[in-house]
């Protein structure tokens, strides 16, 4: 059995569809009746063990039913196909169309415009009963008629009304939502909305907590830019230090000017290895350095002979006079 849902103000969250709850025996005189009874007045009790329903305000039910009816028509199908087969991908051809509803002392009656196959099914006694589909509140008050179906499985024999025993159920999607919220199937609208509001509040709090503190974090683009700039600065600084160390080693006579490119490559790749080399290498090229290195004087040579390669590199990088620097050691 299929079902539909819609909100009802105040009293409950949904209306539930019942199909095949009541039965009216169709005439057997070979004619499809123009008027058929859909609902009895007052209390409605099926004989299949389900709780009954009540028709408290026939006028309100008629107004609600026809207002919601597409183009003022409610379909009568076969075996409640619109409620059962259509949700599963099936079809629901009409056996007739309800064009009007009327409240009488004994309940609600419908005026029907039968299709040729529908009239033939009744005249040939292929179908003997008519069953309405209607909506009701959780306290089982009938609120709206949504159609009817020809059927041969009556569930109510208290009236000249028919119903097959399909039962009633809540919309399965809504039932799944209530289950996901941890609520019972009969939860009212207030409870459901309160639960959803609470969950939304928790989500907002969690989302706010997930926003990073701008005082502790920076955007990734800024971080990448800063990393590139820092790497460039370090590269430039390392290159300047390598040049200073190599030139200082040449000035100290540890290397010849012809070895400058080799010294730069070694110092840039492995500064510690270069330092080890300059620390143990004798100043055998001091005179050559004095002649080939511009601005190199004997005083500088004397001073440089007493300075280590690192000290000479420091003097070069800071534009210090090696001799003056040596005086302060």
Q: Smallest Cα–Cα separation from 148: which of 85, 77, 243?
A: 77
What's the pLDDT at 94?
93
Checking if the pLDDT of 300 tops 60, the result is no
Q: Which ranges of 35-99 does DSSP label H, i.e. alpha helix?
A: 58-68, 81-84
Rounded distance between C-alpha atoms, residue 329 and residue 318, angstroms:
16
Radius of gyration of the chain (CA): 48
For 62-116, what is each residue's pLDDT tens digit? 999 999 999 999 999 998 888 788 888 889 999 999 999 999 999 999 999 999 9
Domain ranges of the chain: 16-169, 220-327
Report the pLDDT value the prediction gives residue 236, as an integer from 0 to 100: 55
Chain centroid to CA 44:
44
- DSSP characters for 181-199? TT--TT--HHHHHHHHHHH
Specify the DSSP class assigned to residue 12: B
Q: Which of 96, 101, 132 is nearest to 114 (CA)?
A: 96
**The pLDDT of residue 270:** 85
What's the mean pLDDT when you consider all of the chain? 75
Q: With contact defined as beta carbons under 8 Å apart, do 160 and 24 qualify?
A: yes
- What span, in angstroms and rounded, lies between the C-alpha atoms of 82 and 1? 10
């Amino acid at each position: 059995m299929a079902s539909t849902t819609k909100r009802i103000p105040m009293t409950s969250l949904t209306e539930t569809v019942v199909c095949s709850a009541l039965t009216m025996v169709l005439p057997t005189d070979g004619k499809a009746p123009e008027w058929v009874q859909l609902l009895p007045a007052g209390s409605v009790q099926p004989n299949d063990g389900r709780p009954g329903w009540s028709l408290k305000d026939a006028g309100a039910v008629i107004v609600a039913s026809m207002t919601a009816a597409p183009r003022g028509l409610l379909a009568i199908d076969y075996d409640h196909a619109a409620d059962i087969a259509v949700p599963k991908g099936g079809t629901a051809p009409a056996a007739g169309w309800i064009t009007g509803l009327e409240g009488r002392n004994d309940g609600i009656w419908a005026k029907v415009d039968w299709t040729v196959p529908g009239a033939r099914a009744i005249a040939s006694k292929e179908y003997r009963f008519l069953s309405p589909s209607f909506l009701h509140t959780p306290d089982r008050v009938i609120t709206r008629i949504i159609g009817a179906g020809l059927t041969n499985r009556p569930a109510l024999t208290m009236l000249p009304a028919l119903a097959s025993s399909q039962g009633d159920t809540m919309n399965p999607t809504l039932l799944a939502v209530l289950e996901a919220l941890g609520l019972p199937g009969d939860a009212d609208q207030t409870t459901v909305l309160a639960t959803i509001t609470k969950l939304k509040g928790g989500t907002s709090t969690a989302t706010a907590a997930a926003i990073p503190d701008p005082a502790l974090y920076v955007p990734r683009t800024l971080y990448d830019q800063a990393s590139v700039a820092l790497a460039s600065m370090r590269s430039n600084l390392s290159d300047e230090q390598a040049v200073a160390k190599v030139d200082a080693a040449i000035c100290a006579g540890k290397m010849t000017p012809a070895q400058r490119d080799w010294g730069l490559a070694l110092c840039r790749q492995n500064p510690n290895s270069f330092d080890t080399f300059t620390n143990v290498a004798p100043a055998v090229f001091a005179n050559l350095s004095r002649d080939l290195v511009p601005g190199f004087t004997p005083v500088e040579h004397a001073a440089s002979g007493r300075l280590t390669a690192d000290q000479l590199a420091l003097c070069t990088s800071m534009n210090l006079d090696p001799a003056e620097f040596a005086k302060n050691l």
